[in-house]
Amino acid sequence: MTKTAKCRDKKIMILNLRADKSRLKTIGWHLLFWLIYILYEEVIVFYAKQPAEPLGTLYSFLINAWVFYNYWRGVRYLTKKIKNIFLLILAIAVAFTIVTSIVVFFKILGDSLIQHVSFNAHASPFRRMSLIMRTVYFAGMGAAYGFAKEVIQKEREAAQLIEKQQILEKKALQAELNVIKSQINPHFVFNTLGFLYAETYKKLPQVGESIITLSNIMRYALTKNEDGYSSLESEFTYIRDFIKIHESRSKAFFMKVNIESSAVPYQVVSLVLITLIENMFKHGIFNQATKEATLNITIHDGKLHFYSLNYKNNNSVNKVQSNGIGLNYIRERLMDEYGREGYELLVDETHNSYECKLIMPLKYHESN
């Protein structure tokens, strides 16, 4: 047997042991419930000054327990087999009548045998009605117990399904990011950019600076932290470099930028701010003074406040069509980290402008 097979068998054995322990624990609680219930009724009999009949009581409660556990099972079985509501009600009524008659018969028979008296002596109308009501009582309790158990089980299964779905969505999102990363060989890209920088810096310093800035941007994007967080200052450095690249490409560049640095070693959810900045440049106009873009990022009380405003490029030739993946990704990341009420993201988009406001908590990171 291979090591993998042994590990698998060991895990199966552990799971079976846990299931057996859980089953035994459940049986123990049920036995305790019936014991307490029997003692409760015996106390009532004692104070009512009625003669105690331990054997008869035990026999009667064995039948009551059978009714308690099996009545709801019978109802569920008929519900699955019969779909017509009128036939179902009729079948339940008939089945209950038959079961009640059998239960009453065996209780009277048991009492007559235990007490050594005739069957007819215990089969008085009052006694039969009392036993019928007793059967209805335990059948009703059993139905309530079975229904509550099914409801709790379904709610538990639904919660587990939602949890599994969230895990799968998170894994799918991470897999999508990994695929995007794997499409580029980082070492090849960085080596090539380093070569281009060395060759062009002496003759064209501005181009060389743009190349090294681009290299820093790509290095950061492809080597983010595995825990999903990045240092706030590294994100700000990326944003400044990103803006610098676009500014160097334009003869005219109009954008008011305010990025407030923080002395506190905060961390922020990776790629959220970057995605918002990239969306600005994907759809925005930056070469017109009358349509100046705005970017303002500040820190207040451990929270990051992001605000951006840009005018949209509606040129049908140059416009880049958006599929909404960027914004959907941001919402999923923030929802995963903070929950529905843990952050604020407001987007106001018109035909000519795009405004975004984001407030999210920052994570304090003790630097080494």
Which residues in 21-34 are b (16+ Cβ under 10 Å) and which e? eeeeeeeeeeeeee
Measured torsion, CA atoms of residues 94, 99, 102, 106, in degrees rounded to the nearest 10: -160
Q: How far apart are CA 213 and CA 219, in angstroms?
A: 10
The total domain count for the chain is 4
Distance CA 56, CA 117 (A): 13
Same domain, 251 and 292: yes
Q: Find out whether 57 and 38 touch, Cβ atoms under 8 Å.
A: yes
Please give the residue range of the domain that contains residue 39.
1-47
Where helices occur in 82-204 by DSSP H, the ranges are: 85-115, 119-122, 125-182, 186-200
Q: Do residues 193 and 318 share a domain?
A: no
Distance of alpha carbon 71 from alpha carbon 81, whole angstroms = 16
Judgement on whether residues 218 and 249 belong to the same structural domain of the protein: no
Residues 216, 233, single domain; the answer is no
Last residue of a domain, one of 196, 223, 250: 223
Q: 240 with 298, same domain?
A: yes
Same structural domain, 75 and 90: yes
CATH of the domain at 346: 3.30.565.10
Closest residue by Cα to residue 38 from 19, 13, 57, 16: 57
Q: Note the pLDDT of residue 297.
A: 95
- Decide: helix, strand or coil at residue 285: coil
Give dist(CA 87, CA 89) in Å, integer. 6
Same domain? 161 vs 266 = no
Nearest to 330 by CA among 318, 321, 343, 341: 343
Q: For residue 300, what pLDDT is reported?
A: 92
What confidence score (pLDDT) does residue 156 get?
A: 86
SS3 11: helix
29 alpha carbon, distance to own chain's centre: 31
- 214 and 287 assigned to the same domain: no
State pLDDT tens for residues 17-32. 666 777 787 778 878 8
Q: Is 255 helix (H, G, I), strand (E, B) or coil?
A: strand
Residues 79 and 159 in one domain: yes
Q: pLDDT tens digit string along 266-322?
A: 999 887 888 888 888 887 888 898 999 999 999 998 999 999 999 987 764 444 444
Closest CA to 342 of 358, 357, 328, 355: 358
d(CA 240, CA 220): 13
Spatial separation of the C-alpha atoms in residues 237 and 217, rounded to whole Å: 9
Whether the Cβ atoms of residue 93 and residue 86 lie closer than 8 Å to each other: no
Q: What does the pLDDT profile of the chain (368 residues) look like in tens digits?
A: 555 555 566 666 666 666 677 778 777 887 887 788 777 677 776 776 666 677 777 778 888 888 888 888 888 888 888 888 888 888 888 888 888 888 888 888 887 787 777 777 767 888 888 888 888 888 888 888 878 888 888 888 888 888 888 887 777 777 666 665 555 555 555 555 665 656 666 666 666 666 666 666 666 665 555 567 888 888 898 888 888 878 877 788 899 999 998 878 899 988 788 888 888 888 788 889 899 999 999 999 899 999 999 998 776 444 444 444 578 888 888 988 898 889 999 999 888 899 999 999 998 876 54
The CA dihedral of 112, 113, 115, 119, to the nearest 10 degrees, is 20
Same domain, 123 and 235: no
The predicted pLDDT at position 322 comes to: 47
Query: What pLDDT does residue 320 have?
Result: 44
Same domain, 197 and 141: no
Residues 238 and 189 in one domain: no
* DSSP 3-state of 312: strand
For 249-255, the CB contacts below 8 A with 24+ separation are 249/210, 250/286, 250/287, 251/287, 252/287, 252/288, 252/289, 253/286, 253/287, 254/286, 254/287, 254/288, 254/289, 254/291, 254/292, 254/293, 255/286, 255/292, 255/293, 255/294, 255/295
- Give 360's contacts (C-beta < 8 A, 6+ positions apart): 268, 269, 272, 303, 304, 306, 334, 338, 342, 343, 344
Its pTM stands at: 0.45
